[in-house]
Structure 1
Amino acid sequence: MFSKLLSTAAVVLAATQLVSAQTYTDCDPTKKTCPDDPALGTTVTVDFTKGANSLFKVADGTTLTYGSKGAVFTINKETEAPTITSNKYIFFGKIDVEVQAAPGTGVVTSFVLQSDDLDEIDWEWLGGDTTQVQTNYFGKGDTTTYDRGAYHDVANPQENTYKYSIDWTKDYVRWYINDAQVRELKYADAQSGTRFPQTPMQIKLGTWVAGRSDAPEGTVQWAGGKTDFSQAPFIAYYKSLTIQDYSNGVANAVKYSWANGSDGSYQSINVITGDASSDDETSSSSSASSTAKSTKTSSEITSIKTSAKNTLTTVTASASASASATASASASASASASESASSSGSETSAVADSSSSASATAPPASIPTTGGAMKAGFSTAAIGACLMAAFML
């Protein structure tokens, strides 16, 4: 098992290479005023066997095909990291994804939820590990501890299609494989809730190369070794998704608005509602037909405005086809350690000629791991592994 193969020396190496979150955000609402997040506000099913779906934006440099097994994510070279990101957010909810992971040592398949202030919930599959899948979570991009990752038994995920689910509420996160629960995170267990994922999130699906020739040693070890591209292509299939947006219990949500001075708590998020039959632009622009419903009390607002805000620096480094080796978006953005047990983390993967990112599986003190989260509409900007790991939005 991969979780048992990594040495203490590798863990130390990974820790020295990852000093910050593996994530990146275009606008952190806890630090400045940002645009409202468009809400999904309902339940939808996406069937990729029928082709592309308008709910998802394809990242720059990503080319997908579609067939009887769903959306086809193909990697032929180490700079490729095909990724798609939802253009709507959910504010708590349940997501079921049917996926067949990509094979190949060093190749990572990722299913990630990520918010504007770097809350994150993940599933990650290593192409060379035929017996396990990893889960992880992050709150506010904080990687100061390495006790969040977990491993779960699953037979040949690169050859079989399974349903992987995340049920996310203000009280808990639960992970399921084929409807069987394999893990639970309670609010209070995430540093008394301060590191519990609790802000509106996008859904990101993709694959990336952690076994790049220029990846940090700890990342390569976590991924199982260097990727042998003589065995390419490496293909993952995403068949379907069912997405339920709980909207924090508010009906007809059209937008999620962060209160000024938000500390990143779910109580500081306002749910903007409107006529469910009207489009998002009409609902959000008409103050007469839209009503802001706050999930916080006036005393909580006061507390939020007076509380100290978390600050987390995320750094991204440009990568180009001619640039010197940058860590693979997923790999470069994360080289952490992951516990071998049974939830999900931050993602980033740096790519030279295609945009990508990956989600990181944060580990306990015994296994270096890295993960790749996909940044919405991946640009050609890649996350430098030598810098503070950046995670995609």
Structure 2
Amino acid sequence: MLSKTFTTAALALAASTLVSAQTSTDCNPLEKTCPADPGFGKNNGDCDFTKGACGNFESLPGTTLKYNGNGAVFSISTEKEAPTIRTGKYIFFGRIDVVVQAAAGAGIVTSAVLQSDDLDEIDWEWVGGDNAQAQTNYFSKGNTATYDRGAFHAVSNPLGSFHTYSVEWTSAGVTWLIDNNVVRTLTAANAEGGAAGLPQTPMQVKLGTWVAGRKDAPQGTVEWAGGYTDFSKAPFLGYYKSISIVDYAGADAPTSKSVKEYIYGDHTGSWQSIKVVLGDGSDDSSDSSSSSSAAHSSTKVSSAASSTKAPASTTSAAEQTTTSAEQTTLASATSTPAAPTKSTGGSGSAGNGTVSSTGSVQPTKPPTVPGNAGSRAAATLGSVFAVGAGLALAQFLL
């Protein structure tokens, strides 16, 4: 485990090597009228990947997955691979609980991301050179102008065992949890930009892995990810065992209503402007808006964060251990991802390990991976997984 950390000067230098934010979308609702976002509503968003592919997700071009007792196997053997899946439907506030064993290997990044068409973003991220921490991050409207939103959270053996990582998202803010224990809370009071800086527009869920330790990556990015990737040790395997997706449909608790779609009512990107169209075609926006207003004004994250129980991980030691023979069998013949067809993901910037949000449980020592404070450059693959906790911006699928 590497232990060097960036100073403030080094952080500034690393950040200066990055291109400007490369988050993009085929249709940004802040700029023009875009197609509606289909909603999950009351429909079941659960997936048990140990049973195979899940209909709630679609694979991005170039993604080939295997499935076994550990779930969906995301395999990387070359720099150009970035296996990624995303939901076809959106949640408008809600909760996700994903059971993950992140990929081990210097330079390999595993990510679970919520992202909207106007580039609001909520992230979980794990780097393959750090087996003691997970990282969280958030962005509003693709704004990656500063590098102080990220946070780091101690977790036991994330690269060798399964844990349940959760996001509870309401109009009042975001709560991140590990194994159903709150590790970070974001509200208007501690969000950059206040209430306007909170993620608040309908989001897809995206899961994937990508290579930050590429030979063409900026030095800060490589150090943040734990070093250059040694492909003689490939394949690098990340496992997504299961996921639960619950849509709140514009309110601050699970919806019991059938939802057809979410429509941006104007170009503000505020949650109050989003129209909730029910399955029968009627407009439920007024109900959703009034339901959420009280919670928003109090700047308290929904109590569902503590009352909603995360799915338990019952993985046996045998399931958590993959033999080298199995790894060889699971190597994916994934081709280079083709150009995406919807939006490319937001990008991120991580803090320096001392950033703490209200309710966050932080390690008492600095991040153990060099460059955690520093940088992440845009991945240059056509539909690469970008995620937030490094710095500005691995390009995340569309």
| TM-score of the aligned structures, taking structure 1 as reference length | 0.76
Distance in 2 (alpha carbons) for counterparts of 1:172 and 1:350: 29
1:122–1:137 contact (8 Å) kept in structure 2: yes
Residue 271 of structure 2 corresponds to which residue in structure 1? 266
Report the 3-state secondary structure (helix = DSSP H, G, I; strand = E; otherwise coil) of the residue aligned with 1:185.
Answer: strand
Distance in 2 (alpha carbons) for counterparts of 1:208 and 1:51: 22
1:62–1:355 contact (8 Å) kept in structure 2: no
Deviates more, 1:17-26 or 1:211-220: 17-26
Which runs of 5 or more residues in structure 2 are unaligned? 294-334, 337-343, 361-374
Report the 3-state secondary structure (helix = DSSP H, G, I; strand = E; otherwise coil) of the residue aligned with 1:44.
Answer: coil
Deviation of residue 336 (structure 1)? 4.0
Deviation of residue 235 (structure 1)? 0.3
2:151 aligned with 1:179: no
Deviation of residue 9 (structure 1)? 4.5
Residue 207 of structure 2 corresponds to which residue in structure 1? 205
Give aligned pairs, total.
323
Decide whether aligned partners of structure 1 residues 2 and 93 sit closer, same or farther in structure 2, where only a CA change above 3 A counts.
farther
2:298 aligned with 1:293: no
Residue 309 of structure 1 corresponds to which residue in structure 2? none
Distance in 2 (alpha carbons) for counterparts of 1:34 and 1:69: 38
The equivalences for 1:110-125 within 5 A come to 110-125=111-126
Deviation of residue 294 (structure 1)? 2.5
Deviation of residue 361 (structure 1)? 1.8
Residue 340 of structure 1 corresponds to which residue in structure 2? 353
Residue 26 of structure 1 corresponds to which residue in structure 2? 26
**What amino acid maps onto 1:209 in structure 2?**
V
Deviations along 1:29-72, whole A, 9 cap, x unmatched? 01000000000112421000111111111011111000000000
Deviations along 1:283-327, whole A, 9 cap, x unmatched? xxxxxx411233459xx9xxxxxxxxxxxxxxxxxxx97xxxxxx
2:37 aligned with 1:37: yes
Distance in 2 (alpha carbons) for counterparts of 1:168 and 1:25: 22
Distance in 1 (alpha carbons) for counterparts of 2:7 and 2:376: 23
Residue 311 of structure 2 corresponds to which residue in structure 1? none
The equivalences for 1:239-388 within 5 A come to 239-249=241-251, 251-260=257-266, 262-274=267-279, 289-295=280-286, 336-341=349-354, 350=379, 352=381, 355-361=383-389, 369=391, 372=394, 374-375=396-397
Distance in 2 (alpha carbons) for counterparts of 1:67 and 1:150: 32
Report the 3-state secondary structure (helix = DSSP H, G, I; strand = E; otherwise coil) of the residue aligned with 2:32.
Answer: coil
Report the 3-state secondary structure (helix = DSSP H, G, I; strand = E; otherwise coil) of the residue aligned with 1:11.
Answer: helix
| TM-score of the aligned structures, taking structure 2 as reference length | 0.75
Cα RMSD between the aligned structures? 2.7
Decide whether aligned partners of structure 1 residues 10 and 79 sit closer, same or farther in structure 2, where only a CA change above 3 A counts.
farther
1:101–1:127 contact (8 Å) kept in structure 2: yes
**What amino acid maps onto 1:171 in structure 2?**
A
Deviations along 1:110-134, whole A, 9 cap, x unmatched? 0000000100000000101011010
Distance in 2 (alpha carbons) for counterparts of 1:222 and 1:75: 19
